[in-house]
Structure formats: C-alpha cells, structure tokens
Chains A and B, each alone.
Chain A
Amino acid sequence: MDTNPTLLRSLLTDLHFWIPVLVLLGGLAVLRWIS
C-alpha cells in the first residue's frame, strides 16, 4: 500500500480533482449570493 504523503500528492496533482473542487467553491459562492 502506498504511503499517505505520496497518495496526497497524487490527489493534489490530479487535474480531475480540481474541477469538482472549483465547481463546489463556485456553487457555494452562488448560494451565498442568492441567500
């Protein structure tokens, strides 16, 4: 099994990961704006 720091690096350098993260932040910003 891989070590956690390596796994974390794999996650953080995965472009696919940042797409939903940015969309989530955008969604929270919209929610804050409309409420």
Chain B
Amino acid sequence: MVTVSQPAVTRDRLRQLQSVGMLCGFGAGAWLGAAEAPTKLVTLGLQPVVVSLLMVVGVFLARWSIPALIRGTGQMTWDFRQAPHLVAWAVLAGCLWSVANTLTIFAIRDVGLSIAFPLWNMNSLIGIFWGVTLFNELHHAGARRWLSVIGGALLMFIGATVLAYASAAQTTAEHTFRGIVAALAAGVLWGTMYIPYRKAYLTGMNPLSFVAFFTIGELVTMAGLALAHSGGLEVLRQQLASAKDVFFWLLLGGFIWVIGDLLQQYAAKYLGISRGIPLSNTNQLWGVAWGILVFGELRRRGPLAYAEVIGGSLVMAAGAGAIALSSVEGDEHGKWYEAAQRESTRYKVASEYVQAGLAGAEVPASSETAVRRSPLDWVIVICTTAIFVGLAVIARLPVLSLSWPSVFVLTGVLLIFLIACGTALWRITRFS
C-alpha cells in the first residue's frame, strides 16, 4: 500500500489541468442544458420511455462516432488493453444511467418537475460524498475549500429548487410518495454512477474511450426497459413506426447531450467528481434559458415567476462560482495520487499509464501504436452522418412559435464553449 503523498504533477501543470477542467464543467452545463431543446419540438403522444430510447440511440451513435473521429477506435482498444477491468465499470455506469433516467420519467409523472428535479439533483451531493469517502477528494484541502465546495453545492441545490419551482408548468400529486421515492432513487443512482467515472479516470482512462463502452450498458438497459414498459415488442414497433418523422429531433437531442456529457467526463477527470459534477449541473440554468427565451415558456406567467427564475439563477451561479474558486492544490492532488496508486496495484495497471492519466498526458506507446485512423473509424463516422442526414430529410418541423434570434444567440454561445473547450483540451491534454 502506498502511504506517502507525492504530487504527480508540477504546480503549473496542475493549474493548467484545473483550468481546462473548470472550462469543461461550465461547457458541459451549457451543452447538457441545450439537449432538451430538440425534444421540445416533439409534440406527438409518444410514451416517455420511447422518447428516451430514441434519444439513447442518438447518444449511442455520437458516443462511437465522436471518439472515432477525434482519436480513432485503435486508441480506444489500446486504452482498454491497459485497463480491461474498466469495461465492466463502463457498462455498469451505463446501466445506472438508464435506470435513473427511466425513474425520472415516473417521478415527473407522479409529482411534477418542480418537486422531482431538486430531489434527483441531489446527485451532485452524493457524488461529493463518494468522492470524499472512496477517492480521497478534498483530503488535505483545507477548511476554505471544504466550505467552498459543500457550500457551493448546497447553493446550487437551493437555486435548482427555485428554478424548478418557477419553470414547472404544473404539478400533479396523484401518487406523491411513489414519485418522491422514484426521484430520490434516480438521484442516488446518478450520484453513484460517478464511482465508475472516478475509478476510470484515476486509473488513467481516456474519457473518449470510456464513454464508448458506457453506452453499450446504456443502450441495452434502455432497450430492455422500453420493451418492458411499452407493452411488448409489437407495441414498441408501432410506437417507433408512428414516430419516424420526429426521429431526427430526438436523435439530435441525444447527440447534443453527448457533447455535454463528454465535457462533463473531462471535468470529472481533471477536477474530480466533487467539483466537476456540480459545475456541470449548471445545465438547469441553460435548460431554463432555452425554455424561456426560445420557447416562451413563461409567457403567460406573472412577474413573480420571472423574479423566481432570476433569483434561482443568481443563487445557482453563486454556488458554481464558489466551487470554481476552490481549485485543487498539490497536497490534495497527492491524495488523488494515492487513490490512483491503489487502483494501479489492485488491477495491475502499469503505473506509467496511471501517472500519465493524472497528468493529462498520453503514454508514449499509445501515440506510436494506435492513434492512426483505421477504415473502421471512417465507416463509423460516414454511417452516423448518413443516418442523421437521412433522418433530417424525412423530419417534420412542427408549427411552433420559436424566437429565432434567441436560437442563434444560444447556439452561438454553445459553439463558443465547444471551440474554447476543444482548443483547451487539445492544447493542454491532447484530448487525453
């Protein structure tokens, strides 16, 4: 067992990694929040599990095509050869995500969004708990950083509650107890899903490789749940057939969500789950912004609703700001290094690979042997593009009054985040 803390990277390097993690956390919030927008265009009476299944299909396509384009499947295979046990962790995380996502559908149905959202949004508090107890996060961090992270997460929780209350169109309370249990369970599942995340990134895994196997668990579980809850294969087939002209919007929602999720994975890798996850939970701010500015969701509500939204947003932003200011210093990073060494010893992963992962660098062997694109990579990218183009051709845009200037402004913000995060990740970590 390793008992001596030692910094795995220099102070300057740590500062760089913290900055890129922070940027990715905020970028993740913007992209995850925007992922809801395309699904709002779907007004058919589809069962919620079918909507989820179609989004997960888009997620699956994105989770293979984006890594294939950026690094190539050869690199992904090489990564998992270094730490093959992480395949099981990735699939397990995907299963947790799908069950949690389905629980949220039932929670919204039974108690409404305003009650359900804050309950499952406590996932970041659970993530902090696991980060501290299992992975040495915030150890040797000092009282000020503890206060910033815990206080910031609590502020975000309060802000999220106010926002959810203000933005919910209606609340139903037919099965209150059942809905509350479903929402709490979803929060616990999502919060626990960060254990596999942290396990993977302390071991040195690349996020682009991890998500490709994550999505296998996600798609298989979601398909099983959709079959079970839609009433059988024939009913599911009929639902899918009736929805073919909205496939594009749902798959697009899944694709946008994956970009946000990838940035969240990088934030979790470089900031840890106790800081990365709360920052990416700013997605609710962006979801509300799309809802109000583009879809006019508060149009018939009084000034009180606007006051609640502004107040909730400010509280949430203050919480995110507090977390962003509590960057990891050398002593705490030394404790991360101990946790990483523990993984390396247990699973017999080369310590060179683990150290390179912590330092945001590539192991030299990986870039020499596996980074070249293969024909398979291009087949994946071309097939995904063809599927999206084909579905876009048959897609129907519902007659909705949208604020197009707001669409352009918010899309511009998304692109700025994407370019900034992509450039920083490339310059500082080469997407490792």
Interface set of A (CB-CB < 8 Å, partner B): 1-2, 6-7, 10-11, 14, 16-17, 19-21, 23-24, 26-28, 30-31, 33-35
Contact = CB atoms under 8 A, between A and B. Distances in A.
B282 to A, nearest CB: 25
B84 A7 contact: yes
A10 B99 contact: no
Contacts of A14: 346
B81 A10 contact: no
Contacts of B110: 34
B421 interface: no
B430 interface: no
B103 interface: yes
Contacts of B88: 11, 17
Interface stretch (B12-20, B35-43, B177-185, B286-294): B177-185
A18 B427 CA distance: 38
A1 B89 CA distance: 18
A10 B110 CA distance: 42
Given A20-B193, A27-B189, A28-B99, A7 B347 contact: yes
Contacts of A10: 85, 346-348
A16 B85 contact: no
A25 to B, nearest CB: 10
Contacts of B85: 7, 10-11
B188 to A, nearest CB: 6
A4 B103 CA distance: 35
A2 B348 contact: yes
Contacts of A11: 85, 88, 347
Contacts, number: 78
Given A1-B81, A34-B182, A21 B99 contact: no
Contacts of A2: 347-348
B100 A27 contact: yes
29 contacts: A1-B84, A14-B346, A16-B199, A17-B88, A17-B92, A19-B130, A19-B192, A19-B195, A20-B93, A20-B195, A23-B96, A23-B188, A23-B189, A24-B96, A24-B99, A24-B189, A27-B96, A27-B100, A27-B103, A27-B186, A27-B189, A30-B181, A31-B99, A31-B103, A31-B106, A31-B225, A34-B103, A34-B106, A34-B175
Nearest to B192: A23
B106, B192, B225 interface centre (most CB from chain A within 10 Å): B192
Contact count band on B? 35 or more
B196 A20 contact: yes
Chain A interface main SS type: helix
Contacts of A16: 134, 195, 199
Contacts of A35: 106, 228-229
B102 interface: yes
B99 to A, nearest CB: 4
Contacts of B175: 34
B185 A30 contact: yes
A30 B182 contact: yes
B185 A26 contact: yes
A27 B185 contact: yes
Interface in B196-221: 196, 199
Contacts of B189: 23-24, 27
A24 B195 contact: no
A10 to B, nearest CB: 5
Interface in B99-123: 99-100, 102-103, 106, 110
A20 B102 contact: no
A21 B192 CA distance: 10
Contacts of B84: 1, 7
Contacts of B95: 24
B351 to A, nearest CB: 14
A4 to B, nearest CB: 8
